[in-house]
Amino acid sequence: MVSHHQKYHPVPLPAYNSIRPEKAQSEADNFFKRMSKRHSIRDFSNTNIDENVIRTAIKTAARAPSGANQQPWHFVAIKDAKMKHKIRDAAEAEEQKFYNGGSGDEWLAALEPIGTGPNKSHITTAPWLIVVFAQRYGLRDDGSRYKHYYVPESVGIATGILITALHNCGLSTLTHTPNPMSFLNGLCQRPKNEKPVMIMPVGYPTPNATVPQASLYKKTESDILSIF
């Protein structure tokens, strides 16, 4: 557990990713090219992924910065077929209600170009699922609670690093957020202080995988960036 009684104690900066300034632009360009090949996919092949690759990507995600270094996340990695089926059944039951009007017209209209529906076969075809949990508050060994700060921000950053780490070794992902998701606490045996944030299927695309055309539209630099 992250200690709450530690005093401030500066130590020398450990090894860092040292790149000469004149190399920065070419590194930035290369990484941009690599990340531009990232697409959320929904058509996963059943090609296996070594468990150690998944473990390493999650360890990488857990190097993310977090509010007060509280690291308010937990990842559940699932390859077990029975468990994937249970998660798919529960997710599809929620999605059925969602697409039958539980979500409201505006939300459904926003989703229309993405073409998503209540069938969630990717949950069982992808070789791995990573369920991301956010710890709304911390629990000491004696069961007492302590406050966590900036939980959504911290978990969002860690998840972004997870997607990037998986992409970096050639794996595709989907950010899947059935609504509501509380069924995941029971199926993944996680405590009440943790809130499921997403199901992330991980794997390789099938040879004939498609993506929604709408997902290829990205805002321009002038839309997303102001420089002073």
User: At a CB cut-off of 8 Å and minimum separation 6, what does 136 contact?
Assistant: 72, 148, 151, 193, 194, 195
- Pick the closer one to ligand FMN by CB: 72 or 201: 201
- Pick the closer one to ligand FMN by CB: 78 or 200: 200
Q: Is 39 in the site for ligand FMN (CB under 6 A)?
A: yes
User: At a CB cut-off of 8 Å and minimum separation 6, what does 193 contact?
Assistant: 135, 136, 137, 138, 139, 145
- Region binding ligand FMN by CB under 6 A among candidate stretches 16-24, 83-91, 132-140, 171-179: 171-179
Residues 54-113 that bind ligand FMN (CB under 6 A): none
Residue the block writes with tokens 């209209």: 109
- Pick the closer one to ligand FMN by CB: 47 or 119: 119
User: At a CB cut-off of 8 Å and minimum separation 6, what does 161 contact?
Assistant: 60, 61, 63, 64
Q: Is 114 in the site for ligand FMN (CB under 6 A)?
A: yes
CB of 132 to ligand FMN, least distance (A): 10
Residue the block writes with tokens 């529906």: 117
- Region binding ligand FMN by CB under 6 A among candidate stretches 37-45, 50-58, 85-93, 137-145: 37-45
CB of 119 to ligand FMN, least distance (A): 11
- Region binding ligand FMN by CB under 6 A among candidate stretches 36-44, 49-57, 97-105, 127-135: 36-44
CB of 161 to ligand FMN, least distance (A): 14
User: Are the CB atoms for 151 and 71 separated by under 8 Å?
Assistant: no
Q: Exposure pattern of 10-43 as b/e (b: 16+ CB <10 Å)?
A: eeeeeeeeeeeeeeeeeeeeeeeeeeeeeebbbb
Site residues (CB under 6 A) for ligand FMN? 39-40, 42, 114, 116, 174-177, 211, 215
